[in-house]
Structure 1
Amino acid sequence: MVQSLGMPASVEIKKSSSVRWTRRSLLHLAGAGLALGGVGAARAQPGPTVVYPNLNGNGADNLGYRVLELALQRCGKPSTLQLHPMAVNDERARAMLRRGEVNVADFGSGAEFEKAFSAIYFPIDRGLLGYRISLIHHSLEPEFTRVNTLTQLQRFRAGQGIGWSNNAIMQAAGIAVVTGPTLESLFPMLEAKRFDFLPLGLNEVYGFSEQYGDFAPSMVVDPRMLLVYRFARLFYVRPDSHELHAMVLSGLKRAFADGSFQKLLASDPSVRRALQRAKLAQRATITLDNPLITEAFMGIPDEYYFKPSEFK
């Protein structure tokens, strides 16, 4: 158990950034009371045990994990944070949340997800998922330099993952969508020209282009186009997790009020890289409507979102 500096002594965080779990690591987790079939295991410490999924195999390096860690530190109540060892995509994480194998997960906003789970209405990416920059095959660069309007973009096919909220947003805008079963699968599909562009969140595009570059050696970041719509990444818990919902939301609000949330996000390598490299002011901006937006989501205070003036 590792205690973070500056956090209450009663709050303990179990963290590992490695996705290569050794037998010793798994035995250690089992000894600590993490039953991989569910989160209702015996607890060595007071307060709830919070189990977070290992999204895309990035473990504790995921922005969601680190924001959750901060929120639990700031909420004023004891808890234990654990990382589930199995690498999963967003769709699998949602299934694990439904079954109770994890009790908090984060993914994009959307009416279907907000109905199925109890959404915590705080944009943990400050809305950066709603600023979309595309990965394209380098052979299409000349064509994409001439895209200035939605009508022109509708000639091309977007790649997205199965179950992503963005699918409905793209389709409602008249853009054909080709889906892949996992995030990783989209990159060889892009290389094979199964679709024409892969729009990703501003805080995702540069990191994923490097992480999965070997699967798509012909892939480049589109230097010119920017898609914008109201969207964000939220935490979700099970509908009966009232205490955990209150703890996380309280911690997020306190972290925003004291500036530690903004500091964490600004120091995140993927966010910092994006703000330095995206050159948003020089891009052709295409604004899309979000048909999945809910009244509750629209009630999120504007102060929690990035402002254009913050894009340097």
Structure 2
Amino acid sequence: MFFPTCQSDDQFVINRSESELDSRYQYTYDLLALIIEATKADFGEGSLVVAEMRMSRNRIFRSLKDGESINVIAEASRSTWNEELIPIKIPIRKGIQGFRVFIIKKDNASTLANITTLAQLTSLKTGSGSQWSTKYAMQQAGFDVMESTQYENLFTMLAKGRFVTFGRGVNEVFQEITQFNQLYPELIIDEHLMLHIPLATYYYVSPNQPRLAQRIQVGLQRIIENGQFDQLFYQRHCEFLLKSKLDKRLIFKIDNPYLSETEIISSLGNGFMLNPRDDFNQLCKQYQ
């Protein structure tokens, strides 16, 4: 995995992924590198360092709060983080991580193909990380959620039949199914359903690093205005948006107990966020 680096005055120390097979954070590293580059003229040099140690999200929160080990992370919004850290409330994934499709065992493909109601879907046991914000949204919607604190364990549990569905963001699922295929060839991506959970990924900064937070805020707004943000976002995500064929899926939407859609769109307006019914074939042609 490539980690962008440069030498600097401002040092951004960001979390390492949860395992060697976890590539979910690469986009957030590269976006932060772009932000640093876009703010050199007024903030000076900056460097991006990926922490050596892997930590759970709860430990990352404590580390950020205390100003130890790391000083920035890109994470889904939650109230405690918003209150005790410095959130930069610009949804850097445009809500795509809330477009959840399911990894399942091949044997269960017909079960999901025959689902027509949310009640039928919630009757199936599902898997989630213990500290993921989507876990609480699914529990509130009536899902029976089986948890693990370990990212890789969830794929093992699914393969062993501990649960039937494992919801993953459209931005995550295709890379994951490829990476875990050798270990678990019986796992596939369901082609029929999508669960829409309103989600916003924000950069969070340690409360003792207000300069870094200001630099991210300024840099993000700058690259959104000059088009660099959308260029990077769609270059990294169009492949997944097109592969997922959202226009052919039955979509169920549930609430997020951590934030409302009104809050998500308040900073940049409704047009900034993706809608699962957008015409991604047309949209992505602009960024080929």
Answer yes or no: same fold by TM over 0.5. Answer: yes
CA contact (8 A) 1:49 1:82 kept: yes
Distance 1:297 1:116, change over 3 A: farther
- Bigger Cα displacement from structure 2, 287-296 vs 156-165: 287-296
Residue identity matched to 1:282: K
- What is the alpha-carbon distance in structure 2 between the residues aligned to residue 65 and residue 254 of structure 1? 17
Q: What's the CA shift for 1:164?
A: 0.5
Identical aligned residues as a percent? 24
CA contact (8 A) 1:229 1:289 kept: yes
Query: What residue in structure 1 maps to residue 48 of structure 2?
Result: 81
Specify which of 193, 200, 204 is matched with residue 168 of structure 2.
Answer: 200
- What is the alpha-carbon distance in structure 2 between the residues aligned to residue 214 and residue 196 of structure 1? 20
Answering whether residue 234 of structure 2 is matched by residue 272 of structure 1, we say no
- What is the alpha-carbon distance in structure 1 between the residues aligned to residue 265 and residue 152 of structure 2? 31
- What is the alpha-carbon distance in structure 2 between the residues aligned to residue 303 and residue 73 of structure 1? 26
Specify which of 259, 263, 267 is matched with residue 300 of structure 1.
Answer: 267
SS where residue 151 of structure 2 aligns?
Answer: coil
Summarize deviations over 1:143-200 as a string: whole Å, max 9, x none. Answer: 1001122111111111011110011100110011111122111101000011111101
Query: What residue in structure 1 maps to residue 64 of structure 2?
Result: 97
Query: What residue in structure 1 maps to residue 16 of structure 2?
Result: 54
When normalised by structure 2's length, the TM-score is 0.86
After TM superposition, which residue ranges in structure 1, 4 or more long, deviate above 6 angstroms?
none
Answering whether residue 183 of structure 2 is matched by residue 215 of structure 1, we say yes
Residue identity matched to 1:309: D
Residue identity matched to 2:194: L
Answering whether residue 74 of structure 2 is matched by residue 118 of structure 1, we say no
What is the number of residues matched between the two proteins? Answer: 271
Residue identity matched to 1:65: Y
Query: What residue in structure 2 maps to residue 262 of structure 1?
Result: 230
- What is the alpha-carbon distance in structure 1 between the residues aligned to residue 64 and residue 155 of structure 2? 27
- What is the alpha-carbon distance in structure 2 between the residues aligned to residue 220 and residue 156 of structure 1? 17
Residue identity matched to 2:278: S
- What is the alpha-carbon distance in structure 2 between the residues aligned to residue 72 and residue 138 of structure 1? 44
Q: What's the CA shift for 1:101?
A: 0.6
SS where residue 177 of structure 2 aligns?
Answer: helix
CA contact (8 A) 1:94 1:105 kept: no
Unpaired segments of 5 or more residues in structure 2?
Answer: 282-288
Q: What's the CA shift for 1:293?
A: 0.6
- What is the alpha-carbon distance in structure 2 between the residues aligned to residue 164 and residue 233 of structure 1? 12
- What is the alpha-carbon distance in structure 2 between the residues aligned to residue 105 and residue 153 of structure 1? 32
Structure-to-structure mapping, 1:103-252, within 5 angstroms? 103-252=71-220
Unpaired segments of 5 or more residues in structure 1?
Answer: 1-15, 19-28, 33-43
- What is the alpha-carbon distance in structure 1 between the residues aligned to residue 184 and residue 153 of structure 2? 10
Residue identity matched to 1:67: L
Let me know the Cα RMSD of the aligned residues. 2.3
- What is the alpha-carbon distance in structure 2 between the residues aligned to residue 90 and residue 211 of structure 1? 22
SS where residue 263 of structure 1 aligns?
Answer: helix
Q: What's the CA shift for 1:89?
A: 5.0
Distance 1:215 1:146, change over 3 A: same
When normalised by structure 1's length, the TM-score is 0.80
Distance 1:239 1:61, change over 3 A: closer
Residue identity matched to 2:258: L
CA contact (8 A) 1:55 1:90 kept: no
